[in-house]
Structure 1
Amino acid sequence: MSENHVSGMETSAVSVLKRAVELDNGGRFQESLVCYQEGIQLLMDVLKAVKDDTKRGHYRDKIKGYMDRAEQIKARVNQMKEDGKYHEQVKIAEDAAGYSYEVLFKPYISSLLTEVWVEDPYIRQIYQLYNFLRFCEMLLKAPCKVKKIHLLTTQDETDTSQQINALAEIRDSLGAHGVTLDLQYSSTIHDREIRFNNGWIIKIGRGLDYFKRPKGRFSIGYCDYDLRQCHETTVDIFHTKHTKTL
């Protein structure tokens, strides 16, 4: 393996681990744990490629330090989950980017996740329906086996057919991928909440609709949500051993 490649891997590891420490210091423990694990794996790949004994000792010490911290966080998170006291908060600033559904939900998706509940009154207009579709696509690509998605939303009184037809198409498309969409409407729903049956509850102030509209169909961020600017909103994450159903 070339020195340039090893140097590139080390740069990536440093970047990910720096982010892990920032999240750790900010009390965003579940997110930091994911970054620590990714960074440690990158450092282990570097260690495998390095031949110099002094450098190998340096990397082994670094890996041990980060692994120890990751274990401490894991124990702390597990204890907070056990006590029913887990709560962390993410504040998304106005015009911030880098908060696609993949990024936001990744720390809370695990192989145990098989069922998802979405309560969001605003899955009505075309861009909101696309948001929900993108959320479903994210779940299909994630390292989990989601078999059922529940959606509770309000009915669009101005263009009922567009909403009904779009959600029917999403339901049929999900069905072709082995996922059932359970759709219900409520005229009184106002909370926005996403629940995973692995215990995580994510409450986003603006629901799934926290992205700003791109300036045009050929503007950067139109296709890639990581590059799309966001509205200011707050995300609260909780964990419960007993996830209620709709």
Structure 2
Amino acid sequence: MAHIGVEASAVSILKRAVDYDQQSRYTSALVCYQEGIQLLLDVLKITGDDEQKRQHIRGRIKSYMDRAEEIKRLIQKEKDAGTFTEKFSIPDGSRNFGYEAIMGQLLDSGVRTVEVEDPYIMATHQIINFIKFCEMLIIKCKNLSKIKLMTKVNERGSPAEQKERLSQLATSLKTHKVDLELIFSTTLHDREIRFDTGWIVKIGRGLDYFKPTPSMFSVGHFDLNLRECHETTVNIFHTKHLRHN
């Protein structure tokens, strides 16, 4: 029956929501709760006349809705106070930690400017990862108008090649009505991503936390969510002081 598949999907997503909740990954948990609740509402619509079953589903929906509302209030309260922080680790060799899995819940039409400080957008694979990051922003942030990248010059490789590739990316982004501002620093060390909606993401290894695949014909070469990761930490903050440029 159709509702069995929908219910199984709801159970899977809500289990993930509870896992995130227990890890204090509240922004991710909230998204999963909302998705799971919608699926349960869909199940309710296609469930027959079994009133006991319908009551059970309604009870689950209410329970998850109550928790989602609690998380919303918690996030908003800490955002207003400027104290919101979320921290988790990416284990060595783990998968399912692509860029969208980490910060997709922070991206919406309210984001217009993104600033990236990452000293290692130099080698070919690092620039490709940055392109994938930009692609995610274009898809998720409908009003995106500017990406600002600060990185180091590839002095051990080919600075001219690095700058040419990033220049090509800037030209490509322009066709999507997004400006790419490039700043090269000789002293940059910290790694930080700032969204003008107030969200800040710090990844210990920057955007380059994925292990290489055996070849470009391997699963995970193109989809970073399927790629094994190096161990690193992720910190998510919110500040009221960032504004649209």
Give the match's secondary structure for 2:45.
helix
Task: Report the TM-score, using the length of structure 2 for normalisation.
Answer: 0.96
Contact 1:117–1:245, Cα closer than 8 Å, also in 2:
no
Partner of 2:38: 41
Q: Any idea what the Cα deviations from partners look like across 1:122-170, whole Å, max 9, x if unmatched? A: 0001000001100001111115421110000111123011101100110
Offset, 1:54? 2.2
**Equivalence for 2:198:** 199
- Partner-residue secondary structure (3-state), 1:203: strand
Stretches of structure 2 that go unaligned for 5 or more consecutive residues are none
Stretches of structure 1 that go unaligned for 5 or more consecutive residues are: none
AA at the equivalent of 1:156: N
- Counterpart secondary structure, 1:113: coil
Paired residue secondary structure (2:17): helix
Conserved 8 A contact 1:110-1:198: no
1:210 maps to 209
SS in 2 for 1:189: coil
Residue 190 of structure 1 aligns to a residue in which SS? coil
Q: Give the equivalent residue in structure 2 for 1:125.
A: 123
What does residue 182 of structure 2 align with? Answer: 183
| 1:231 match: secondary structure | coil
* 1:29 alignment partner in structure 2: 26
Using the alignment, how far apart are the partners of 2:241 and 2:145 within structure 1?
A: 19
1:224 aligns with 2:223: yes
**Any runs of at least 4 consecutive aligned residues in structure 1 with deviations exceeding 6 A, and if so which?**
none
Alpha-carbon separation, structure 2, partners of 1:193 and 1:22: 26
Equivalent residue runs for 1:127-206 within 5 Å: 127-157=125-155, 158-206=157-205
- Give the match's secondary structure for 2:97: coil
Give the share of equivalent positions with the same residue, in percent.
Answer: 49
- The answer (yes or no) to whether the contact 2:110–2:141 under 8 Å persists in 1 is no
Tell me the C-alpha RMSD between the 2 structures: 1.4
Q: Distance in 1 between matches of 2:90 and 2:243?
A: 27
Secondary structure of 2:126's match? helix
Give yes or no for contact 2:86–2:235 (8 Å, CA) kept in 1: yes
Secondary structure at the counterpart of residue 124 of structure 1:
coil
Distance 1:245 1:128 in 2: 27
Give the structure 2 partner of residue 13 of structure 1.
Answer: 10
Code of the residue aligned with 2:65 in structure 1: it is: M
d(CA) in 2 for partners of 1:223, 1:26: 29
Larger deviation: 45-54 or 182-191? 45-54
Task: Please report the TM-score for the alignment, with normalisation by the length of structure 1.
Answer: 0.95
How many aligned positions are there?
243
